[in-house]
Amino acid sequence: MKILVTGAAGFIGSHTAERLKKLGHDVIGIDNFSSYYSLELKKLNEKELKSKGVPVLNKDLRDTDLAEALPKDINYIFHFAAQPGISKTSTFEDYFSNNILATKNLIDYAQSLTDLKLFVNIGTSSIYGLEATFPEDVAPKPASHYGVTKLTAEQLVLQKSREKQFKACSLRLYSVIGPRERPEKMYTKLIACAFNDSAFPLFDGSASHLRSFTYVGDIVDGVVSVINNEGKLDGEIINLGTEVEHTTQEGIEAVEAVIGKSIKINHVEARAGDQLRTKANIDKARKLLNYNPKTTLLEGVRYQVNWYKENFM
């Protein structure tokens, strides 16, 4: 199969592109290499992909000539590209243009493809709102610009399924951790603070927040399993993550245990829209994709620490 992965130089996108190539597919990546976070990390991911035979096109999904720049014989689209997370440095316009307008532009391109088997939108548990513990048929209540715009992007994609324009599904991912995690995310930041003897900025009240910290390899297992299952996935929304919950404090302690060092903490003002609890309800994923994440928090942290040491020390 010929597969396009958007956001291919990013965290989960790069892992997915690599796995798809390993499975024998012809994979093409696209990424706009935005300055939202470290270009050094994105270039590192790109280098790894190129070494595995996955080219990454430096192109923005919002460009008006997108359709002319991309192949016409794509069979699957995995759409990871987005303005991520909850950040005070990101404006509503950033979320709107990168998550909604870019997705609409990609949809227009997808409609020009003659043998597109499935458009796989990558959603997020933030769509559910402050608590994400629900099955997929619960009405979403996003509490951030990120969640609102990702919900809109999801519905734009699924609209085309309802209109019978092409087959599509959306995967809502839960608190992904592991090698290549973005620098501003919890575990990469914790690991950096431990090794650099600096203080980790802990948002007030967040030590008790509950998360389905899910290892990236387990997430990718679910993502790539959609291939050849488009008949039963068309129009579906599916949660991917672990059912095991850990507090933020337990996450801090896991990093300390793996590295063997206490981490200094600097308490900072709470973030508006930060989720209080995520616990992936994966009954549907088990039924449709035979999905079964197995990596423990401590195992995932160990993999991530080793990656950090290999690349940044």
**Residues 94-113: tens digit of each pLDDT:** 999 999 999 999 999 999 99
Q: Please indicate, yes or no, if residue 52 is contained in any of the structural domains.
A: yes
Note whether 304 and 188 are within 8 A (CB). yes
Contact call for residues 280 and 241 (beta carbons, < 8 A):
yes
> What pLDDT, on the 0 to 100 scale, is given for residue 133?
93
Give 135-194 pLDDT, tens digit per residue: 999 999 999 999 999 999 999 999 999 999 999 999 999 999 999 999 989 999 999 999
Of the candidates 43, 22, 155, the residue with the CA atom closest to the CA atom of residue 100: 155
Residue 275 counted as domain residue: no
CATH code for the domain of 39: 3.40.50.720
Residue type at 83? Q
Q: Would the pLDDT of 56 be above 70?
A: yes
Give the pLDDT score at 250. Answer: 96
What is the C-alpha separation between 40 and 18, in angstroms, rounded?
19
Is 51 exposed, middle or buried (CB count within 10 Å of its CB: 0-12, 13-18, 19+)? exposed
Mean pLDDT, residues 242-247 taken together:
96
Number of other CB atoms surrounding residue 257 within 10 Å: 12
Those residues with Cβ within 8 angstroms of residue 11's Cβ, 6 or more apart along the chain or in another chain: 45, 176, 180, 181, 182, 185, 216
Is the model's pLDDT at 270 over the cut of 80?
no
Distance between CA atoms of residues 277 and 266, nearest Å: 22
Cβ-Cβ contacts under 8 Å for 20 (sequence gap 6 or more): 3, 5, 27, 78, 224
> What does pLDDT average to over the chain?
95
Q: Is the pLDDT of residue 223 over 80?
A: yes
Q: How many folded domains does the chain comprise?
A: 1
Spell out the residues 6+ positions from residue 146 whose beta carbon is closer than 8 angstroms to its own: 83, 84, 85, 86, 90, 95, 99, 124, 126, 273
Q: Which domain holds residue 226?
A: 2-173+216-241+282-287
Tokens of 120: 């796989």
Q: Which of 37, 76, 146, 291 is catalytic?
A: 146
Residue 206's pLDDT band (cuts 50, 70, 90): confident
**Is residue 95 among the annotated active site residues?**
no
- Burial of 169-200, coded b for 16+ CB within 10 Å and e otherwise, reads bbbbbbbbbbbbbbeebbbbbbbebbbeeeeb
- Do residues 28 and 57 lie in contact, with contact meaning Cβ atoms separated by under 8 Å? yes
Please tell me the pTM assigned to this model. 0.95
Residue 129 lies in a domain: yes
Residue 70 is predicted with a pLDDT of: 98
DSSP codes of every residue in 230-285: HHHHTT-EEEES-S--EEHHHHHHHHHHHHTS---EEEEPPPTT--SEE----HHH
Q: In sequence order, what are the residues at sequence separation of 6 or more whose Cβ sits closer than 8 angstroms to the Cβ of residue 107?
A: 119, 156, 157, 160
- Predicted pLDDT of residue 147: 95
Q: With bands split at pLDDT 50, 70 and 90, how would you rate the model's confidence at 273?
A: low
Length of the chain: 313
Please check whether residue 202 lies inside any domain of the structure: no
Which two structure tokens, joined as six digits, stand for 266? 């600097």
Tell me which of 55-69, 178-192, 229-243, 263-277 is least confident: 263-277
Look up residue 104 and give its two tokens.
């609409």
Residue 249 has pLDDT above 90, yes or no: yes
Question: Is 260 within a domain?
Answer: no
- Kindly give the pairing relationship between strand 214-215 and strand 76-79: unpaired
Distances, alpha carbon 123 to alpha carbons 120, 128, 156, 229, in Å: 9, 11, 12, 18
30 assigned to some structural domain: yes
One-letter amino acid identity for 227? Answer: I
Above pLDDT 70, what percent of the chain?
A: 99
Could you tell me if residue 36 is inside a domain? yes
Residue with tokens 């870019």: 102
Given a cut of 80, whether residue 4 has pLDDT beyond it is yes
Does residue 116 belong to any structural domain of this protein?
Answer: yes
